[in-house]
Amino acid sequence: SQTIHQWPATLVQPVGSPLSLECTVEGTSNPNLYWYRQAAGRGLQLLFYSIGIGQISSEVPQNLSASRPQDRQFILSSKKLLLSDSGFYLCAWTLVTGGGYTFGSGTRLTVV
């Protein structure tokens, strides 16, 4: 069966520090991968999506970047965190265009 792993579960980072969140999917090949963010009191905002290795599309301009070094690995990064980067970050995957998502358990990022 397919599973999605996301870590760490919680993270507290100072302003200006780097960030690396990792997401891996097991049990499937060539998934579409997504990074979402849920800011406090807000809905789910799509940040990045990827349809293949090295193929990244950004939905909103921001202080973050994403990479997909392997088929089932999706990484969210930042060189210098801002206070506004705080939020709940979710990785998700789907196999076919138009399907529903399976979400990871999320990472609570607090920038202090």
Partner 1 sequence: DQQVKQNSPSLSVQEGRISILNCDYTNSMFDYFLWYKKYPAEGPTFLISISSIKDKNEDGRFTVFLNKSAKHLSLHIVPSQPGDSAVYFCAAPGGTSYGKLTFGQGTILTVHP
Residues in touch with partner 1 (CB under 8 A): 6, 9, 32, 34, 36, 41-44, 46, 49, 51, 57, 88, 90, 92, 94, 96-106, 108
Of residues 48 and 75, the one with the C-beta less far from partner 1: 48
CA 48, chain centre distance (Å): 7
Residue 91: CB minimum distance to partner 1, A: 8
Of residues 18 and 30, the one with the C-beta less far from partner 1: 30
Q: Are 4 and 27 in contact (CB under 8 A)?
A: no
Of residues 13 and 103, the one with the C-beta less far from partner 1: 103
Q: Are 100 and 37 in contact (CB under 8 A)?
A: no
Residue 85: CB minimum distance to partner 1, A: 18
Report which DSSP code applies to 71. T
